[in-house]
Amino acid sequence: MPEGVWSVAGKDPSRVAVIQPGGRAITFGELAERANRLTHGLRGLGLAPGDVVAAVLANEPAMLELNLAALQGGIYLVPINNRLTAAEIAYILEDSGARVLVCSPRFAATTQAAITALATPPEGFASGGGAPGFRPYAELSSGMPATRPEDRTAGAMMHYTSGTTGQPKGVRRALTGVEPDQMAQMLAGFLAMFGVQPHGGGVHLTVSPLYHAAPMIFTTTSLHAGHAAVLMDGWSAEEALRLIEAYRVTTSHMVPTQFHRLLALPEDVRAGADVSSLTHVIHAAAPCPVEVKRRMLEWWGPVIYEYYGATEGGGTLVTPSEWLERPGTVGRAWPGCEVRVEDDGGRPCPADVPGTVWLSLALADFEYHRDEEKTRAGRRSGFFTVGDVGYLDEDGYLFLCDREADMIISGGVNIYPAEIESVLFTHPAVGDTAVFGIPDDEWGEQVKAVVEPAPGSAPGQQLERDLIEFCRQRLAAYKCPRSVDFVDALPREPTGKLAKRRLRDPYWASTRRAI
C-alpha cells in the first residue's frame, strides 16, 4: 500500500486528499504539486533548513500545504492559535524567529497589529482573497515549478505550549536529516499503533483547529496513510454527524467536550445518524468522564480509543475493550515509550499509589526553545514530565489524578493560570489573586478567579464584571475567568507561596475520585 503524500500522488494522483469546508475537493496530485511549488517559493525568499514559518490560519488547505512544504524543505512550521490577541501572537513570532507568516484574511487585522509591534517583522502573506497589508499567499507559488525541489530534507512542527510561568515555549526537536518520503512513511506508521492501516478508502474528519498539535498530527498522518481529510471550520455536533454520513468517515480525533455536545443532541437526531462507517475515533487532551465515554461506546460501538501524551511527547493508549475492563484508565505505554510514576524523591511508587508521571524521551527528544532551564527542569534520566500526577495499577495501566502544574484543560485546550493571574494583578482593584480550574459538565473545567480586593475596593457583581472585561481586553476569550469569587485574604505560606490547593479543593470535593 502507498504511504506518504508524494507516493500516493505519484501512484494515484486523482485520489481525493482534502475536502474543504464547503465541499470543494483537492486531489493528492494537486496537493503534492501545491506543496512543491510552495517549497520552491519559500526557498526563493531565502529560507533554508532550520528557518521558521508561522501560520495564523483557519482549517484550510494552506495549513496542510505549509506542513508538507516544511516537511520537505527542512523548515520549522509554527502554527499559532488564531484566537490569540495581537500581543500574544507577536510574542510567539518574535520568540520563534519566524521569517515568513501566512494568515487567513479574517485574522488579518489582529495579525497585522502583531507584526507592526515587532522590530524585525516577518514577510506577511494572506490566504484566500488576500488582505490589506499582506501579499497574496498565491504569490509564494506563482510561477514556481511543480516538481519536487532538490536537496529535500525533513523539517518539523514547532508548537508552542505554556508552563507554570505562563509564557509559551516552543517545543523544538532537532532536524533529523531524514529523507522526506521516508519521514512521511514513518508518520503514517503512527496510526498503526491504534490499528489504523494505510488504504485508499480511509476518510478522516478534522473537527478541531489545525493549530493544535493533535488535530494537525492526526490529519497529516491520515493523509500520509492515503486517507482523505474532511475539514470542519468550526465545531457543530449536527454538522459532524452529517459529514460522517455523507463522506463515510472512518476516523476522527476528538476531545471529551465534543462527546458531551454529541450526547446533548435530541434523541431522535442521534438515533437517525448513520455512524456505521466509523472504525477509530481517538480522543485525548482532557479527562473524559467515565459515564460520557460509556455512553459514546454504547452509541458508536467499540471504536473509541484513548491516549495520553503531550505536545512534548507521549504516551499511553487504551483500546475500547481495555477501557471497558478498567474504566477511567488512559492505558499502557505505547510502543517505544515507557511510563514511570515516582515520588518526590525519584523513587518508583508502588501500584495504585499516586506520584508524578514520567514518560521516556526515546525518539521524542526535544527542547523548549530558548529556555534551557525549563528543558532541564522536566528531565530525569532519559524521562520527562509535564507535572501530571497519576498511578499505575498492577498491570501497568495508568490512571491520572491531578496536575502539579495547575494547568486548566477546558474543552481540550490548555489554559495556564499564571498568565491570567499576571493580567489580573495589573488591575488597581486587585490586591492578590489566584486562578484555577473548577468542574464544568460540558467543558471539563472552567476558569475560576479568586480575588483579594485591594484596599478601598468593594467586592461584588460590578467588580466581577469589570475584572472579566479587563481580562477579555488583554487575553484570548477562552482564557478569561468565567466567574470571580472574593475573599478577605488568600492563603499564603510564611514564605509567600500561595496554597492554591486550599482554594481549589472545595470546588472539586464532590467530584474527586477517591484513591
Per DSSP, which regions of 211-331 are E strands? 228-231, 251-254, 280-283, 304-310, 313-318
Q: Please, where are the H alpha helices in 286-340?
A: 290-300, 320-325
Among all chains, which residue has been given the C-alpha cell 489582529? 110
Per DSSP, which regions of 386-443 are E strands? 388-392, 398-403, 408-410, 413-415, 430-440
Confidence (pLDDT) at 480: 96
**pTM of the predicted structure, to 2 decimals:** 0.83
CB 477, CB 83: distance < 8 Å: yes
CB 275, CB 282: distance < 8 Å: no
Confidence (pLDDT) at 318: 97
Nearest one of 229, 52, 243, 244 to 158, comparing CA atoms? 52
Confidence (pLDDT) at 127: 97
- Alpha-carbon 185 to chain mean position: 22
Per DSSP, which regions of 128-285 are E strands? 135-136, 156-157, 160-161, 169-172, 203-206, 228-231, 251-254, 280-283
- Neighbouring-strand partners of residue 399: 391
Please report, for residues 125, 375, 413, 484, the alpha-carbon distance to residue 158 in angstroms, rounded to integers and kept in the order given. 20, 15, 17, 34
> Cα(240)–Cα(258) distance, rounded to whole angstroms?
10
Q: Pairing relation of β-strands 228-231 and 16-19? A: parallel
Query: Could you give all domains of the chain from N- to C-terminal order, each with its CATH number?
Result: 5-234 (3.40.50.12780), 344-403 (2.30.38.10), 408-508 (3.30.300.30)
Q: At what angle do helices 256-263 and 237-247 cross, to 10 degrees?
A: 90
Confidence (pLDDT) at 364: 63
HSE-CB at 463 with a 13 A cutoff on CA atoms is 20
Whether the bond into 315 is cis, omega within 30 of 0: yes
Amino acid at 427: H
Q: Please, where are the H alpha helices in 425-499?
A: 461-472
CB 305, CB 252: distance < 8 Å: no
Confidence (pLDDT) at 515: 33
* H or E stretch at 358: strand 355-360
* H or E stretch at 54: strand 52-56
For the chain, list residues with pLDDT below 70. Answer: 1-2, 162-166, 285-287, 362-364, 402-405, 493-497, 510-515
Confidence (pLDDT) at 377: 75
What residues have CB less than 8 Å from 345, skipping those under 6 apart? none
Q: At what angle do helices 61-73 and 28-44 cross, to 10 degrees?
A: 60
